[in-house]
């Protein structure tokens, strides 16, 4: 006989963990008790030595689907002879410090009931259990029970109540438990305002079949849906939504339907079918197919994740366009009234219901590589924390601006928020402020310090400043790329100094100029800027973000100003200026601006180099959305190209070693005139950047002795570059790390800011 005192850290509350264990122990003939604690759960187990060790071994594998076990700590003790196994109350007065589960897709058991005509929840669109259903998006307050969710108005019927109180039942303590007799109601609302309550999903399906566009209320907001198999229908949606070329996401009934459109490896299938159900960027079977959905070689696809979604497919309809219901760059619509007023001009019907969404939460988006690499971390992942190796004070970090998130910390946990969007939009900013309050309440956090970006005009910085002043909380300003670097370090549990390749679009540097092609070295305490790229002049400033032909002309003029064949320059320049996307008079003005160096702010952002090259190559000359030039360039690049352009380097007046891209642009121009295929030129361009990355890291390693490299910043959303740079650096004997728990783009910034602020606080003490 033996006894073990076990402490479990992770998401083990509100996920049916204690009853699950209660059911498990019988098989192992174990006595003792289990209770919730501030860090998770605590158990005392006694029994035959073999049984107890088997039980502990199996804890990690045999657990309720929603439970996340981060750490198990087990101490042996002399058994005291329990006669039973009990669930005992939590320590009185102990501060509840529980994690909140993200929203989880409908489980197989619930799906079985959903399609079983003899079940009382047959085709009931709100079926859920302890193992699945809404969580984060319905929780208003803690402790997590039905009263503090948007399920509060629905009073459980006796049948549901029985399940809820029966420890042997799958719905024991499932807070959103409900049925057709007591739960929320789905209805289909026609454009004329008439509502169908009887088989509303059937009515929606019929509308979709006919090619209509309908709004569908999901977990964290509304989607706009239409058939994906007929380009004409999605064209109407594109027109009404005023969304020109931005790709749509698709929802497929099952993996069979996915395979008809995209290649799907086992690893990709696993991610696609995981309980978080993210949108996964999958490679099309044929690059030219489904161009009405996405112009590039990938399509974002997800599987159904709520019972409502499962009811939207039929023998005929296996694939739907499923795009967030928002207008221009506003946040996704999540309230019924708002949907009715804002979407009436866009959709022909509404599939909606009377359960409120408390928290707006977009679909998450991931590259399938390496088991999942975030483009957007949101539904299914938020508010799951990043667990640290050692505790930190309570802090708030306010992130960047365009891909806004915030992070709050408490002990060993950092809670990065869901994706919030562009704060320049007033509703997103409002949501940002509200969500900070909401998270602070849910996790009972009172920040002792606030961190923000160095950029004073970012609305996240404005918020941080106001709050710091109003509440007398110290404010720490963090340089953008330093935050990216420390974010990636934290993501990989690194604390010792590293080299950081931080490539992104824009971020304010310490010297007041725009940075973004950075080679840094340091840690949370500080950094040194060892390398960057030759600054790119942006004629017209912000105008050059979308009118990327301006950047193309800028690179070209600079590259040929002192060197190279003016004839080549002119021929390539003409190709740009003769493009229909480039206004005739505009091109003339831009050349004059460049020549006189007027209104041409310099930027060393890697994103600008991508834009300019994309424009020179004719891949994209006017971007419809931020980053389009870079995305299409990556999609255009052919595989297997091993060559590159010449790269120059020079040291600037501050000792920063800069990549001189002028020889590369001259090489590119010659290739264009020699009719070298665009696919090859695009690949050669990215291979050049790869060689630059390796060259700079070797240079920094020689200077500093560091040999670990973190890759961060929006440019590393480019899979070609991420893979190529990783391989090239590994070949040089460097250890390479990239993001896996948070996004590499500006969504990841708040995590880095927070860790830097924590370090500065520690030093002050």
Structure tokens at 370: 């390496």
Least CB distance from residue 68 to Zn ion, whole Å? 17
Quick check: 155 binds Zn ion (CB under 5 A)?
Answer: no
DSSP 636: H
Least Å from the CB of residue 654 to Fe ion: 21
With CB under 5 A as the rule, give the number of residues binding Zn ion: 10
Whichever of 36 and 479 has its CB closer to Fe ion, that residue is: 479
Nearer to Zn ion by C-beta: 157 or 462?
157
Q: CB of 559 within 8 A of CB of 552?
A: no
Nearer to Fe ion, 320 or 454 (CB): 454
Site residues (vs Fe ion, CB under 5 A): 504, 507, 746
The residue (of 200 and 522) whose beta carbon lies closer to Fe ion is 522
Query: By C-beta, is 160 or 397 nearer to Fe ion?
Result: 397
Q: Which DSSP letter does residue 377 get?
A: -
* C-beta closer to Fe ion: residue 304 or 605: 605
Count the neighbouring beta carbons within 10 Å of the beta carbon of residue 580.
7
Q: Kindly state the smallest distance separating residue 507's Cβ from Fe ion, in Å.
A: 5
Of 177-185, 576-584, 664-672, 682-690, the segment contacting Zn ion by CB under 5 A is 177-185
CB of 15 to Zn ion, least distance (A): 12
CB 713 to Fe ion: min, Å: 5
CA–CA separation, 690 and 725 (whole Å): 5
The reply to whether 719 sits near Zn ion by the rule CB under 5 A is no
Q: For residue 191, state whether it binds Zn ion (rule: CB under 5 A).
A: no
Contact of 387 with 357, CB cutoff 8 Å: no
**Cα 406 from Cα 440, distance rounded (Å):** 11
Q: Is 107 one of the binding residues for Zn ion (CB under 5 A)?
A: yes
CA dist., res. 146 & res. 151, Å (int): 6
Measured from the CB atom, is 363 or 626 closer to Fe ion?
626
* 3 state DSSP class of 222: strand
For Fe ion, the closer of residues 303 and 693 by Cβ is 693
588: exposed, middle or buried (C-beta count within 10 Å: 0-12, 13-18, 19+)?
Answer: exposed
| Residue 179 binds Zn ion, judged by CB under 5 A | yes
Q: How far, in Å, are 261, 264, 269, 438 from residue 256 at the CA level? A: 9, 10, 11, 40
The smaller minimum CB distance to Zn ion, of residues 182 and 708, is found at 182
| 160 binds Zn ion, rule: CB under 5 A | yes
Which residue's CB is nearer to Fe ion, number 220 or number 507? 507
State the minimum distance, in angstroms, from the CB of residue 104 to Zn ion: 8
CB of 608 to Fe ion, least distance (A): 13
C-alpha pair distances (Å), 329 with each of 55, 385, 388, 425, 623: 51, 28, 34, 7, 15
Residue 6: name the closest of 52, 58, 32, 45 by CA.
45
Give the separation between CA 354 and CA 183, rounded to whole angstroms: 9
The position carrying tokens 């022909």 is 348
Q: Checking phi first, is residue 399 left (phi over 0); if not, alpha (psi -120 to 50) or beta? A: left
Q: Identify which of residues 156 and 452 has a Cβ nearer to Zn ion in the complex.
A: 156
Residue 129 within binding range of Zn ion, rule CB under 5 A: yes
Residue 504 CB, shortest distance to Fe ion, in Å, is 4
Q: Is 753 within 8 Å of 452 (Cβ atoms)?
A: yes
Q: Are 532 and 515 in contact (CB under 8 A)?
A: yes
Residue 110's binding partner among Fe ion, Zn ion, none (Cβ under 5 to 8 angstroms by kind) is Zn ion
Q: What angle do CA 372, 376, 381 make, to 5 degrees?
A: 70
Pick one of 87, 155, 181, 676: the residue that binds Zn ion (CB under 5 A). Answer: 181
277 with 302: CB under 8 angstroms? yes
Choose one: 128-136, 147-155, 566-574, 615-623; the region binding Zn ion (CB under 5 A).
128-136
Per DSSP, 299 falls in state E
Q: What is the DSSP letter of 535?
A: P
Q: Which two tokens stand for residue 136?
A: 């984060």
Q: Pick from Fe ion, Zn ion, none: which does 504 bind, CB < 5 to 8 A by kind?
A: Fe ion
Please choose which of Fe ion, Zn ion, none residue 107 contacts, taking the beta carbon within 5 to 8 angstroms, the exact cut-off set by kind: Zn ion
Q: Between 137 and 745, name the residue whose CB sits nearer to Fe ion.
A: 745
Total number of residues shown for the chain: 765
531: three-class secondary structure by DSSP: strand
Residue 132 binds: one of Fe ion, Zn ion, none (C-beta under 5 to 8 A by kind):
Zn ion
Give the nearer residue to Fe ion in terms of CB position, either 497 or 713. 713
Give phi and psi for 513, each to the nearest 5: -95, 170
**Does 6 participate in binding Zn ion (rule CB under 5 A)?**
no
* 110 near Zn ion, rule: CB under 5 A: yes
Which listed range, 7-15, 180-188, 268-276, 292-300, lies at the site for Zn ion (CB under 5 A)? 180-188
Question: From the list Fe ion, Zn ion, none, which binds 10 (C-beta under 5 to 8 Å, kind-based)?
Answer: none
Q: How far is the CB of 456 from Fe ion (least distance, A)?
A: 16
Cα separation, 339 vs 476, whole angstroms: 39
157 binds, among Fe ion, Zn ion, none (CB under 5 to 8 A by kind): Zn ion
3-state DSSP helix/strand/coil % of the chain, to nearest 5: 35, 25, 40
> Residue 38: helix, strand or coil by DSSP?
coil
Rounded least distance, CB 484 to Fe ion, Å: 6
Region binding Zn ion by CB under 5 A among candidate stretches 179-187, 421-429, 580-588, 626-634: 179-187
Q: Does residue number 157 form part of the binding site for Zn ion (CB under 5 A)?
A: yes
CB of 722 to Zn ion, least distance (A): 36
Q: Is residue 105 part of the contact set for Zn ion (CB under 5 A)?
A: no
114: contact with Zn ion by CB under 5 A = no
3-state SS assignment for residue 305: coil
**Interface residues with Zn ion (CB under 5 A)?**
107, 110, 129, 131-132, 157, 160, 179, 181-182
């Amino acid at each position: 006989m033996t006894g073990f005192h076990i402490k479990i850290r992770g998401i083990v509350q509100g996920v049916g963990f204690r009853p699950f264990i209660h059911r498990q122990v019988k098989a192992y003939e174990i006595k003792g008790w289990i209770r919730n604690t501030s860090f998770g759960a605590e158990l005392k187990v006694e029994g035959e030595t073999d049984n107890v060790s088997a039980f502990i071994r199996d804890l990690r594998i045999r657990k309720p689907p929603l439970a996340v076990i981060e750490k198990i700590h087990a101490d042996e003790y002399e058994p005291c002879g329990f006669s039973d196994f009990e669930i005992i109350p939590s320590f009185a007065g102990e501060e509840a410090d529980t994690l909140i589960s993200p929203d989880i897709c409908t489980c197989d058991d619930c799906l079985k009931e959903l399609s079983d005509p003899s079940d009382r929840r047959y085709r009931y669109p709100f079926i859920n259990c302890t193992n699945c259903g809404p969580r984060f998006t319905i929780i208003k307050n803690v402790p997590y029970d039905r009263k503090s969710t948007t399920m509060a108005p629905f009073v459980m019927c006796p049948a549901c109540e029985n399940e809820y109180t029966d420890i042997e039942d799958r719905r024991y303590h499932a807070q959103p438990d409900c049925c057709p007799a007591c739960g929320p109601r789905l209805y289909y609302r026609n454009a004329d305002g008439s509502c169908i309550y009887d088989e509303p999903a059937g009515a929606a399906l019929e509308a979709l079949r006919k090619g209509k566009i309908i709004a569908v209320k999901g977990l964290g907001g509304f989607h706009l849906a239409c058939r994906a198999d007929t380009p004409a229908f999605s064209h109407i949606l594109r027109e009404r939504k005023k969304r020109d070329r931005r790709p749509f996401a698709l929802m497929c009934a099952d993996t069979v339907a996915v395979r008809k459109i995209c290649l799907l490896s086992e690893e990709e299938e696993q991610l696609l079918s995981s309980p978080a159900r993210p949108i996964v960027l999958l490679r099309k079977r044929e690059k030219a197919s489904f161009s009405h959905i996405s112009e590039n070689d990938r399509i974002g696809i997800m599987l159904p994740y709520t019972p409502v979604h499962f009811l939207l497919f039929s023998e005929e309809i296996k694939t739907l366009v499923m795009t967030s219901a928002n207008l221009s760059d506003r946040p996704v619509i999540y309230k019924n009234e708002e949907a009715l007023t804002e979407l009436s001009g866009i959709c022909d019907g509404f599939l909606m219901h009377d359960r409120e969404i408390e928290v707006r939460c977009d679909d998450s988006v991931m590259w399938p590589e390496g088991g999942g690499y975030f483009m957007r971390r949101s539904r299914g992942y938020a508010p799951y924390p990043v667990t640290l190796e050692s505790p930190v004070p309570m802090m708030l970090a306010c992130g960047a601006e365009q891909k806004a998130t915030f992070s709050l910390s408490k002990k060993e946990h950092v809670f990065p928020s869901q994706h919030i969007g562009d704060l320049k939009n007033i509703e997103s900013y409002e949501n940002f402020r509200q969500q900070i309050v909401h998270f602070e309440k849910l996790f009972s956090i009172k920040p002792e310090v606030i961190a923000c970006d160095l950029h004073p005009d970012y609305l996240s910085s404005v918020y941080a400043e106001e709050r710091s002043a109003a509440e007398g909380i110290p404010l720490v300003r963090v340089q953008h790329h330093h935050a990216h670097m420390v974010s990636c370090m934290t993501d990989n549990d690194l604390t010792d100094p590293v080299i950081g390749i931080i490539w992104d679009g824009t971020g304010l540097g310490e010297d007041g100029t725009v940075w973004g092609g950075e080679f840094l070295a340091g840690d949370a305490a500080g950094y040194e800027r060892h390398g960057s790229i030759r600054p790119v002049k942006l004629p017209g400033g912000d105008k050059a973000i979308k009118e990327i032909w301006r950047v193309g002309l800028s690179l070209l003029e600079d590259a040929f100003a002192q060197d190279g064949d003016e004839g080549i320059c002119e021929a390539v320049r003409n190709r740009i200026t003769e493009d229909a996307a480039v206004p005739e008079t505009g091109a003339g003005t831009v050349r004059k601006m460049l020549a006189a160096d007027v209104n041409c702010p310099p930027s060393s952002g890697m994103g600008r180099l991508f834009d300019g090259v994309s424009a020179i190559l004719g891949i994209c000359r006017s971007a419809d959305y931020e980053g389009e030039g870079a995305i299409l360039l990556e999609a255009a690049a052919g595989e297997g190209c091993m060559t590159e352009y010449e790269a120059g380097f020079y040291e600037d007046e501050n000792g920063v070693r800069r990549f001189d891209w002028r020889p590369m642009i001259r090489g590119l121009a010659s290739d264009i005139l020699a009719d070298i295929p665009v696919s090859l030129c695009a690949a050669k361009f990215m291979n050049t950047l790869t060689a630059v990355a390796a060259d700079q890291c070797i240079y920094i390693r020689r200077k500093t002795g560091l040999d670990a490299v973190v890759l961060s910043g929006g440019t590393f959303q480019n899979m070609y570059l991420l893979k190529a740079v990783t391989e090239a650096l590994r070949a040089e004997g460097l250890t390479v790390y990239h993001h896996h728990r948070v996004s590499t783009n500006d969504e990841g910034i708040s995590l880095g800011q927070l860790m830097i602020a924590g370090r500065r606080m520690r030093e002050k003490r």
